[in-house]
Amino acid sequence: MRYVFKKFTWKNWLCVGLIFAFTLLQVFFTMQIVDTVKTFNDAIGEAAKTGNNQDIWRNGFWMIICAVCMCVAQVVIQFLASFNAARIATQLRDNFYKKVNKFALSDLAGFSTESLITRSTNDIQNIHTAFLYAFRTIFVAPITMVWSIIKLVRTASAPLTVSTAVWLVILIVVVIVLIVLVMPRFNRTQKLMDDLNTASRENLTGVRVVRAFNAEKYQEGKFEVVNEKYTKLMVFVGRAVALFTPFVMFVMMGLTLTLLWVTAYLINGQSVQVATETFKSANSFVMLASQIVMSFVLLITIMILWPRACVCANRIKEVMLHPESVQDPEVSKEFTEKGTIEFKNVGFAYPGSGKEAVSGVTFKVNQGETIAFIGATGSGKTTIINMIPRFADATSGEVFVDGVNVKEVSQEQLRNVIGYTPQRGFLFKGNIRENIAFSNPNLSLKQIQEAAKIAEADSFISAKSEQYESAVAQGGTNFSGGQKQRLCIARSVAKKPEILIFDDSFSALDYKTDKTVRANIKNQLPGTTRVIIAQRVGTIMDADQIVVLDKGQVVGLGKHQDLINDCAVYKEIALSQLSAEELGIKKGGK
């Protein structure tokens, strides 16, 4: 929680100061009401003797003024507490979101998606709730308690003070037992919440696979196990906390009865005048004692909420203080070339791995050329292209874009010249126009249509009733795989970058559409450098350079026909997809 306090701005501390000031006013007027009760009772007795009601009206009017002022102060405190707690939660949520956006792929691997969602929502909400109650009570409870104790010491007798102390000790002991039982469970609650999110998200994301294998019962069983653990934990905590409220009422009533019984014992055998004065003092004492007990209750509420909030704050802190593996240089260099990519003996090892996933990668691509990567699954194709836009940094060697080492330019500057299309077409909730114009919301409809035509997406978009204003569900679930890929290609093309990266982005397209889209890009964006990962040889046959990968090593580099003749791995891949005649291999020769 110390991390959260460090993020307080002067506005947060100003709110805290105002809350403290209005708390003093609230307690002052509360104590004025307590003091006036005795005076009011005296005025009633005097009026009964003399018939003069002026003191009654004066004291009554003063009590009303104090009550109104106390309520106004309390309303202001509630408003300031709500504002400040909401402001803290907003700041945390914004900073958390910005931090996660800066994470490289290797950084994200250290936190599951479900955990990050839980931390940014449930954890921050728990911190917000704790601060809300804290700001409401952190000053009023101790100030009221101290003020009441001082007044008790000055006005009360020893028997009444001892009676109050006994009940407070009982309350404190029960609270300590409650905290010992409940607090360790709060540490497990957030982790179980992560597990619940994981189970739910996994089932929803893989719903087609689950249904295809009739695995609904299996998935339900996995969810029930986690849900049962979470439920048992929360039921235990809920029952323990639920016992606290009736116990507080028991202490309040027990304290009141004890004080009245002790008072009755003290006035037994006394004169009427002495008994009356003692009873009046006892009434004031009961009110003060009640204030002390209620202050304890308020503090205990914070004691219950705060440890859980501390657990949540530590989870937020883990993310916020996680070192970013990809960082911008202090001074960003300017590009010296345009549309060029060069790898110099590049290698990359994933965190925690003692061996590089790819190593010794060397090639150069000039502006307007096409370079393609092919190889078996896990050979390192995506790993290599991830180092171009700095989704991950090379652990050895150097990567150059436009003549400059990518580590010497800012990520924003680097990615401004790159258009990226992932293998798994992802669309954002909104409409088609917004998705294609994702890089620049100010693109005109004509520019958006041009990009869609290049990606061969204009035909199915125009067939829709709302065309480019047609709704897109989250993740693009209302489009087929091929349609999503074409929309993602259109999104990259609309940016008109110097470099276009396609991570197996043609896999859902038929051969004809695949060929047409690539031809459109080549003809209408002739100055754009193209980087393609593909599993189909037909997609990369016309590339200027083809990089053949096998187990993280470059085993072939050149044009299609050269590789057919000189690279056994490429020839094997090619023959598994196309006939010798289609590949131009003569019978009995190479």
Classify residue 328: in a domain, yes or no: no
Q: Return the closest-CA partner of residue 131 out of 294, 300, 305, 9.
A: 305
How do strand 430-431 and strand 529-533 relate by DSSP bridges? unpaired
Q: How far apart, in whole angstroms, are the C-alpha atoms of residue 254 and residue 261?
A: 10
Looking at residue 156, its pLDDT comes to 54
15 shares its domain with 132: yes
89 shares its domain with 169: yes
Classify residue 538: in a domain, yes or no: yes
Looking at residue 375, its pLDDT comes to 84
Q: How far apart, in whole angstroms, are the C-alpha atoms of residue 456 and residue 20?
A: 65
Q: Pick from 297, 320, 343: which residue ends a domain?
A: 320
477 shares its domain with 545: no
Q: Return the closest-CA partner of residue 43 out of 31, 30, 29, 57.
A: 57
Q: Pick from 258, 289, 320: which residue ends a domain?
A: 320
142 shares its domain with 255: yes
Q: Pick from 476, 496, 516: which residue ends a domain?
A: 496
Residue 487, domain CATH? 3.40.50.300
Looking at residue 300, its pLDDT comes to 73
| pTM for the predicted model, two decimal places | 0.71
- Alpha-carbon distances of 470 from 431, 432, 434, 476, rounded to whole Å: 5, 6, 10, 12
Looking at residue 237, its pLDDT comes to 76
311 shares its domain with 395: no
Number of domains observed in the structure of the chain = 3
Identify the bridge partners of residue 405 per DSSP, sorted by sequence position.
400
Assess contact for 6 and 88: CB atoms under 8 A: no
237 shares its domain with 176: yes
Looking at residue 511, its pLDDT comes to 83
Classify residue 452: in a domain, yes or no: yes
Looking at residue 589, its pLDDT comes to 47
218 shares its domain with 149: yes
Residue-by-residue DSSP string for 348-373: E--TT-SS-SEEEEEEEE-TT-EEEE
Q: How far apart, in whole angstroms, are the C-alpha atoms of residue 334 and residue 336?
A: 6
Looking at residue 168, its pLDDT comes to 79
Classify residue 327: in a domain, yes or no: no
409 shares its domain with 460: no
Structure tokens at 53: 């009601």
For the chain (length 590 residues), average pLDDT per consecutive 10? 74 87 85 72 61 70 85 89 89 88 76 80 86 84 78 69 80 78 72 78 74 78 84 80 77 79 71 56 69 75 76 84 82 87 88 80 89 85 88 88 90 89 84 88 88 88 86 83 88 89 84 87 88 85 88 86 85 81 61
Classify residue 110: in a domain, yes or no: yes
Classify residue 329: in a domain, yes or no: no
DSSP 406: G
21 shares its domain with 124: yes
Residue 8, domain CATH? 1.20.1560.10
Q: How far apart, in whole angstroms, are the C-alpha atoms of residue 487 and residue 478?
A: 13
Looking at residue 590, its pLDDT comes to 46
Classify residue 330: in a domain, yes or no: no
Coil/strand/helix, residue 323: coil
410 shares its domain with 430: no
Classify residue 536: in a domain, yes or no: yes
236 shares its domain with 253: yes
211 shares its domain with 360: no
Assess contact for 490 and 457: CB atoms under 8 A: yes
- Within its chain, how far is the Cα of 94 from the centroid? 9
Looking at residue 259, its pLDDT comes to 76
Looking at residue 41, its pLDDT comes to 61
Looking at residue 561, its pLDDT comes to 85
Q: Which domain holds residue 266?
A: 2-320
